[in-house]
Structure 1
Amino acid sequence: MARADKGLLADIVRPFDSFFAFVGEITILLVDALKRIFTSRFEFRETLSQMAFVGVNSVPIVALTGFFSGAVLSLYISTFLLKYGATTFVGATVALSMTREIGPVLAGIMVSARCGSAMAAQIGTMAVTEQIDALKMLSVHPTNYLVVPRVVASILMLPILGLTCMWAGSFGGWLVATNEGVPSGEYLTSINQFTHTSDLLGGLYKTPVFGLIVALVACQQGMRTKNGAVGVGRATTNTVVISMVLVYVTNFLLARLMN
């Protein structure tokens, strides 16, 4: 009976233990990365490589998802507002939705799925094959060589991807709206009338935070990988799930703070 009680208590405590361990590891990694950005040799070549991987190579998939998200949103809004002759608000509704919420969040999610998983798999493979230990033997600190370039690249590239998603979504919304009977000039005038610079900045300021989250989670999960190929797969899955959840939670908190 006592053994069963201990097992039950362990099952209850384990999730909290894992959560606080994760928070502690992420915090230590963040502090170490920030310190080494200013005190250690900066890996420009690796950072540029990661910027190309996170930014340039992600543009097509981010633009595609943004385009169809804006198109679907416009389809429903146009169909509804056409019934009441309120097509003046179609462009503004699509543009505001894309700039303030959908664009930044979609960019963060796509980078998490495409780049975060790849980062975790790469670093995890290095961990299980002892390549990270080899870096230490060569007096190359893993945080400086692996973490800092990915964090910097993600922070710098997410705003660009967010802008891409916003533009693609608004363009997709325009195509669908005009096809549904909304005058093109009315759609564009609505965007110009109701969308302001503050709306654009309100969405863009979230994106560096999303980039930081994705890169930190990927590096943390990758560097703690064990147990060979199984561990690499688990780290990849954990990275995508955790970073996506954190992107959604952070988006809500930032939106609440801004409002």
Structure 2
Amino acid sequence: MSKKNTITTKAKLFLDEVGDITYFAIRFFREVFTSPFERKEFLRQCYQMGNRSLVLVGVTGFILGLVFTLQSRPTLAELGATSWMPSMVSLSIVREIGPVIFALICAGRIGSGIGAELGSMKVTEQIDAMEVSGTNPFKYLVVTRILATTLMLPLLILMGDAIALFGSAIIENLKGEVSYLLYFNKVFDALQFSDLLPATIKSFFFGFVIGLIGCYKGYNCSKGTVGVGKASNDAVVYTSMLLFVIDFIAVFITDIFFEI
């Protein structure tokens, strides 16, 4: 096969994948507004994705705050600007670093879990059995999981940001003898509503993408155990790429909005 044909084939497969994911998302929005709503499964998924991811996000945020402050402090000390440390750390974490890092962490934990779980159900024909029994598997399995990730991820990111700032405050207290009260007073003086709102809005899109890609890959898993592993791996890879794309679009739109 020639190089041109190979590129054409890959482009066609990519466009087919984009079309299938788009149709999958449209089907989600169509199903989410129809009754019945699987309330118990939705709450269970919120617990699975939110509560059980809290420790991972918390540890990541705490270490992020420690390392970021330790790495930044010597440079600011050379410039005589250590008093800017609370505002710099808080703006960096809340605006950009926190949402992206925590979304990637959740993509690895939640996205791969959804892909593997639905993939194994597809391979063992449990989804087909649900259709035969009269249950709507898409509403029960897909809608609840996408809604849960969309709702839980912003909460996890806010919690991770708070823990990261606490870790930064510990370093400042030990290295610069800055009291916790003074540190957080400077943090809240630096942060504005315009800093928190865009980060929170894009975190909803992050959660939606994690749930959508994980469910799509698992729900359309190929037969066999190899397909389950591939679905789990593809869910993480595709989601990570889309998170960066969404983040770029969100930052671009935010800059245009606040410039106007």
Scaled to the shorter chain, the TM-score interval is over 0.9
Give yes or no for the alignment of 1:223 onto 2:219: yes
Give the secondary-structure state (helix, strand or coil) at the position aligned to 2:16.
Answer: helix
Which blocks of at least 5 consecutive residues in structure 1 are unaligned?
none
For 1:160, the aligned partner's letter is L
- Deviation digits for residues 155-197 of structure 1 (CA, Å, limit 9, x no counterpart): 1111110101110111111111222225235533321221112
For 1:71, the aligned partner's letter is L
For 2:201, the aligned partner's letter is Y
Q: Which residue of 1 aligns with 2:207?
A: 211
Which blocks of at least 5 consecutive residues in structure 2 are unaligned?
256-260
Give yes or no for the alignment of 1:171 onto 2:166: yes
Q: Which residue of 1 aligns with 2:106?
A: 111
CA distance in 1, matches of 2:158, 2:242: 21
CA distance in 1, matches of 2:169, 2:55: 19
Give the secondary-structure state (helix, strand or coil) at the position aligned to 1:39.
Answer: coil
For 1:125, the aligned partner's letter is S
Give the secondary-structure state (helix, strand or coil) at the position aligned to 1:205.
Answer: helix
Q: Which residue of 2 aligns with 1:256?
A: 252
Give yes or no for the alignment of 1:238 onto 2:234: yes
Q: Which residue of 1 aligns with 2:44?
A: 49
Give the one of 96, 101, 106 matched to 2:96: 101
Which moved further from structure 2: 122-131 or 16-25? 16-25
CA distance in 2, matches of 1:129, 1:65: 35
Give the secondary-structure state (helix, strand or coil) at the position aligned to 2:243.
Answer: helix
CA distance in 2, matches of 1:245, 1:203: 18
CA distance in 1, matches of 2:126, 2:178: 59
CA distance in 1, matches of 2:77, 2:198: 29
Matched positions, count: 254
Give yes or no for the alignment of 1:32 onto 2:21: no
**TM-score for both structures, normalised by structure 1:** 0.93
**TM-score for both structures, normalised by structure 2:** 0.93
For 1:66, the aligned partner's letter is G
For 2:145, the aligned partner's letter is R
CA distance in 2, matches of 1:21, 1:46: 31
Give the secondary-structure state (helix, strand or coil) at the position aligned to 1:59.
Answer: helix
CA distance in 1, matches of 2:127, 2:71: 51
Give the secondary-structure state (helix, strand or coil) at the position aligned to 1:64.
Answer: helix
Assess if the C-alpha contact under 8 Å between 1:69 and 1:169 holds in 2. yes
CA distance in 1, matches of 2:168, 2:51: 24
Assess if the C-alpha contact under 8 Å between 1:113 and 1:240 holds in 2. yes
Give the one of 181, 184, 192 matched to 2:176: 181
Q: Which residue of 2 aligns with 1:124?
A: 119
Aligned-CA RMSD value: 1.4
CA shift at 1:56, angstroms?
A: 1.0
CA distance in 2, matches of 1:94, 1:18: 43
- Deviation digits for residues 121-169 of structure 1 (CA, Å, limit 9, x no counterpart): 0100111111111111112222111110001101111111010111011
Which moved further from structure 2: 226-235 or 14-23? 14-23
CA shift at 1:13, angstroms?
A: 1.8
CA distance in 1, matches of 2:165, 2:215: 33
For 2:197, the aligned partner's letter is L
Q: Which residue of 2 aligns with 1:66?
A: 61
Assess if the C-alpha contact under 8 Å between 1:40 and 1:144 holds in 2. no
CA shift at 1:41, angstroms?
A: 0.9
Give the secondary-structure state (helix, strand or coil) at the position aligned to 1:206.
Answer: helix
For 1:143, the aligned partner's letter is F
The list of structure 1 runs, each at least 4 consecutive aligned residues, that deviate by more than 6 angstroms after superposition, is: none
